[in-house]
A and B are shown apart, each in its own frame.
Chain A
Amino acid sequence: MPKSVLCPSLLLLVIGITPAAAQGTTYTTCVNNEQLRHYQTVSDPQLSPDGTRVVWVQQESTADGAASHLWMASSDGSAPARQLTFSSGSDRSGESSPQWVPDGSAILFIARRGDARQIFRLPLAGGDAAPIKLQAGTDDLSPRSFEVSPNGQWLAFTASQPQTPQQKKDQKDKRDAVIVGQDENPSRVWVYSFAKRTVAALTPSTTEARAFAWNPDSSTLAVITGGVGDASDLGPDSTLEIRDVADPNQFRVVDGVPRTAGAVAFSPDGRQLAITAQSGYDDPPGVSDVYVLPTSGGTPANLTGPSDVTAAGRSLVWAKDGTGVYVQTQQHTRDALLKLPVKGSAPSWQAAATSAVSGFHTNREQTGWVFIAQATARLPPVVYASTPGATGTVLSRANADWPANGWRGATTVSWKGPDDLTIEGLYFAPSTCAGGAPVLDGKSPMILMAHGGPTGAFTETFSPFVQWLTTQGWAVLEVNPRGSTGYGHAFTAADRNDLGGKDFEDEMAGLDWALAHRPVDSRRLGMYGYSYGGEMAGFIEGKTDRFAAIVSGAPVIDQYSEYGTEDGSWYDRWFFGQPWQRAADAWRQSPLSYARNAKTPLLLLQGESDTTDPMGQSLEEYRALRQQGVPVRLVTFPRENHGPLSGGISGEPRSEPWHGFQARSEILDWFQKYFRKAVGQ
């Protein structure tokens, strides 16, 4: 079962720089496949402690190797954006995870220069970035996430326990049999002292560190740990501890914290903790509410539940005065910042500037906010605003050779599904770009799109992939069927034990709506989905003949084999239970069970190294359809795992130079061929 892999364009925030390869070329909104290889993104903006400067990550295009670098601009726009970090020749990944040190004199970032990932410190008074030497004994530690303490004296970071000499030797000697489900080198939280230049382990090597947060007084860390290896496949097992930074032996477990705790943040006075944890409703795993409890332990108070919103992201920011917590989340087709008061009043939505904002960041004094301002019809810029709701100043919009505005925008539309539920979607009209599909009798082809998850959603973000689909002269309808997030708990839980059931009907109702209300040609309908969207494509393949062609990316086809072979099964278990206990439910919710009725030409796109929806899933559908005599084509992509391939197809920068291009070529050829066939061309 695909986990909450949301619509790819939600995850990534887009802006770019002029790539050298594109020098002299001016792109239009009539994007072609090669143009998408030159697309760049911005993400992770960080406001300086004094609020005067902003650093963010800009990722180069796929055609230029997809390395990411740090850029900087002044908040008021007076000093224009400039690139701050540069990789050397052999470093293909670049720099990421920027973070200001508390006195604003330097920026820390992660890069892999040489053999290992390291945290680097770039002094803003000038000079090279220098790596911070993080070692356990004489072993180098490879940091994943990190945060400087508020007083600037410590660096907390997560890194795996280094291999022992015996482990290294065994690996070298190929004495390397794997005991599944065990992890001898779990991720731990470590602390580095800037003064002493020493590293100490904070969490033991018997637990897996998942998240941490600094106490504002810099004396302790709140750490969420869980079982090592695949322990969490048997159920949530988080523990929240408060650990003393100076003395790792001093710690206590915070009572009252749910086993589903995912993120944590101290209140400004250090006396309370905000956490995200599984909602108080019967929701799919991962649907979170925000809770607050005393740091000393106690019963958590649910801040989001009463208002039927869910916390989409993992980052929690307390308001400076301690009266509430900010969380980034989604409502219907919009992403925004929500302020949850600790006591009293109702939550308030903070951003009205554009339809989808993300990547919110503020500094300790909350002098201002930075975010990425999304909209379907324009390239998303990094924006600085004094308050989250203000329009703010555009600091940078990369892809300078692309038009900033004037792209095809979506309208939010709705219709009724079973049980009289209102279902929303985003409708994009086809473009009038040259070379697009012919308009016949005033009608154009349409691509129906299903998102992943199923606990996901389409929102009003800029999507180069959708723009490219509309360039072909095709309309696009993105559907948020029941099971999607952002429409309340009941709506999100409405697909329980019914995958491919009423959510499928919601999709078809959307199709009906489009045929009735938009100039859509019923002969030339296509469908595209990835992950759960690919699974939905599988259901559509087996349950209806209305489409001319279907493209399914990294689907689940067979719940029996998926449950046993995917990375983790706890999520799926909520939907239909364990297949050997509930065989009929599992089979009913498997696209394979409808394969005998399949007729529509199906293109399957699959990453060979996918551990979320393993390759076997696509192979099962491929073999079945082939033996049924249905036109089917399976394209597999070496080295690709679940998320990266999806992003590549969507046009986001990826270090795989050609897979996204090739996948889109396949999609284009597939739809064009069958659309033409459908009208006798």
Chain B
Amino acid sequence: MTRRDSPLGFLLVALLLVAVPRPARGAPPSLDDIVDLVQVSLPQIAPDGSRILYTRTTLAPWKENTRVSQIWIVRADGSDRHAFLNDNKDRDVRWSPDGSRVAFLAERDQPKSRTAPDADQGAQLYVIRADGGEARQVTHHEGGISRYEWAADGAHLFFVADNPETDAERAARRAGDDAIYVDEGPNGQGPGRFNSLWMVDVADGPERRITREPMFIEDFMPSPDGRRIAITFRTENTRNGSYHTEVALIDVADGSRQTLTHNEAPEHAVSWSPDGRTIAYLAPDNGDWDLAEDKLWTVPASGGTPHLVSSTFGGDIGRYFWAPDGQTVVFSGVDRARGGVYRLDLASGRVATIAHGDWSGELDSVSRSRLAGAGVRSAPNAAPDVQLVDLKTGATTALSDANPQVRGWTLAQFRAVSWKSRDGRPIEGMLWLPADYHSGRLPLLLSVHGGPAGVWATAFRPIDEVYSGLGWAVLEPIVRGTTSFGDQLLDGNMKDIGGGDYEDLMTGVDALVAQGIADPDHLAIRGWSYGGVLGGWTITQTGRFKAASLGAMVTDWRSEYAMGFNFDVSRWYIGGTPWDHPDAYLRQSSYTHVAQVTTPTILFHGERDTTDTIGQSMMFYQALRDRQVPVRFIRFPREPHGFTEPHHQRIRDAEEVAWLMKYARGINWKAPDRPLETTTSTARREQ
């Protein structure tokens, strides 16, 4: 079961990458075209708004089986776009408050430490001037640095680093005394390390430790006067314990802590008001951890009761930024599956829409005046690119053109559709159709999103372009439990997974069949994570699908309770524990009904998936195999819940398409061989 806030991340991972040679003009993209797509991310606009730094990730030569990232820079009018930093591991660039320098984390050519030659030196902080000159290493911190922020004075950097291994610990580990004491100290299911806040003088580098308590600092933000740091933190590392997170203030001088929240809900994205008197953060609520959208809260820095300020906004808040006068907050988010940029008046709670439309993407950074912001946006027919957003008018200027070859592709038709579910609840969905489709019945691929609190955003969806190019209609229902439509839809599958959300899917298929678009004899279903869960459930309840592709699924909630993420299952989606509510656990698990499955199924699972553990696919596979239902199970070494290796991504997609083509449409389809790399193709990637 995925965490509530990871599926969107997974969806973005599913944006696969660049084409090697471009297809014949007007052709839909192939699997290689999409694995070759260039990604852009994390644009950082300079304080004066004049230039934007961003990360550009491209596929390395195929045999290296990896992607490489590079930091690029561009002017606010889109001109003079070029590489700024060179190393693949450079990341997390941030402009200094006065815009004269840029800090970043890097692992550049570090000599191996003699004392710990096998230890990762870890990332260190570097600073480079914006007006010419090389980057200079600022920290030499043993064990590396995970996150940092500029101090408002621009002369210091604050950072969080894992507490280093002591000599005794290292000796014990080397001697083989490396047993893991689960959930004790900093350990969770695996070994962990507490971390601490530090500060460093940018000019001459002495590093000073600020906090000494055993804790895990998650987000942090220094106060405008530099005397305190707002943090979100935990003191234990149990799986599914994110609700233990609290907001606190750390005194920079003596490291003392003042905790501001005391609840059972997870907080993140903590920040200071410009006058330093108020702390803001995102959390679903201030009591128990309810299944709810993240909302914006404020609490006085001197302590007090947290106050909900974003109650009028029903969508999913992504990033937010204080205005310099402290009266409003600009934020980006997803509202009803569509991207939006808004301004919230703190006093009145009124939300004004700056922009909202059939696109998706967050604001990653804003200029000092808050007149401009930068984010990455895509739309159903436009690959993601860095955009400059005018925060008065919402108008955008494209700053990158990462995938010009997409303009030469034939892209699917895209439309939003809606229907009523069995209980009358209105349901929306995204429908992708072949470019030349006018009428008639098409094979239909029902695509189920993860989460359950994920969403099918109005974004560029490369795999759907491949499917529609092969003649499929693809339906992506926004079932109950989906995020960004308000808490009401989000809660829609409370204690009811496989119930109402299943009906939402089936009624969508029924509607398309009734409209003469979907061919009921050629239906297929696919899903990853909760999409695999619900897909697996679906094929135990109906035989209408001729083929299924289930990735990273869970089939038996009782056995998965302790193995994977379980907080949401136990709290919301089934309710209770397997020993207190054994009937519900059995009833709502597809494994209980696996004997009903007749649909030929292909299963995918990463061997290092700790969100939904691989034993679940093994169980489903074995059941189908024993019952002689056509089934195939493909395991992927090294892969976690979302795949990262390009070769694995291509194999997964090629095998899924081939399976669905064969069993739902009787077509023996094989992915074309990947074209050999030519110098022009690799050269294009280098630009």
Contact = CB atoms under 8 A, between A and B. Distances in A.
B85 A88 contact: no
B137 A86 contact: yes
A124 interface: yes
A394 interface: no
A383 B87 CA distance: 36
A126 B132 contact: yes
B119 to A, nearest CB: 15
B76 interface: no
B73 A127 contact: yes
Nearest to B124: A89
Contact of B132 (A84, A90, A113, A130): A84
A91 B134 CA distance: 14
Given A126-B129, A127-B73, A86 B85 contact: no
Contacts of B634: none
Contacts of A126: 73, 84, 102, 128-133
A386 B131 CA distance: 26
A124 B131 CA distance: 6
Interface residues of B, number: 23
A130 B134 contact: no
Interface in A105-128: 113-114, 122-128
A114 B111 CA distance: 11
Contacts of A114: 109
B417 interface: no
A85 interface: yes
A182 interface: no
A88 B73 contact: no
B128 A91 contact: no
Nearest to B85: A128
With a 10 A CB-CB cut-off, give which of B73, B109, B133 has the most chain A CB atoms: B133
B35 to A, nearest CB: 26
A128 B134 contact: yes
Given A85-B134, A122-B133, A128 B128 contact: yes
Q: Is the interface of A mostly helix, strand, loop or mixed?
A: loop
Interface in B416-449: none
Interface of B: 73, 80, 82-87, 102, 108-111, 128-137
Given A90-B110, A126-B73, 5 more contacts: A83-B133, A84-B132, A88-B137, A114-B109, A128-B86
Interface of A: 72, 82-86, 88-91, 113-114, 122-130
A82 B132 CA distance: 11
A127 B131 CA distance: 8
B111 A89 contact: yes
Contacts of B135: 86, 128
B110 A89 contact: yes
Contacts of B80: 125
Given A86-B134, A86-B137, A88-B137, A127 B109 contact: no
Contact of A128 (B84, B109, B110, B131): B84
Contacts, number: 65
The 9 closest A-B pairs by CB, nearest first: A124-B132, A127-B84, A88-B109, A128-B86, A89-B111, A86-B136, A84-B133, A85-B134, A126-B130
10 contacts: A89-B108, A89-B137, A123-B82, A123-B132, A126-B131, A126-B133, A127-B83, A127-B85, A128-B83, A130-B86
A127 B70 CA distance: 12
Nearest to B121: A89
Given A84-B133, A85-B133, A122-B133, A127 B108 contact: no
Nearest to B51: A126
Given A84-B134, A86-B135, A127 B128 contact: yes
A125 B132 CA distance: 5
A100 to B, nearest CB: 12
A128 B85 CA distance: 5
Nearest to B72: A127
Contact of A88 (B102, B110, B129, B131): B110
A94 to B, nearest CB: 11
Contacts of A82: 133
Tell which of A83, A89, A90, A126 has the most Cβ of chain B within 10 Å.
A126
A236 to B, nearest CB: 42
Contacts of A85: 133-134
Nearest to B80: A125
A122 B134 CA distance: 8
A122 B132 contact: yes
Nearest to B109: A88
A129 B84 contact: no
Nearest to A114: B109
A82 B111 CA distance: 26
A568 B133 CA distance: 42
A124 B85 CA distance: 13
Nearest to B110: A89
A652 to B, nearest CB: 25
Nearest to B70: A128
Nearest to A79: B131
B134 A129 contact: yes
A124 B110 CA distance: 25
B139 to A, nearest CB: 13
Contacts of B137: 86, 88-89
B508 to A, nearest CB: 50
Contacts of B136: 83, 86
A88 B137 CA distance: 8
A86 B111 CA distance: 15
B628 to A, nearest CB: 54
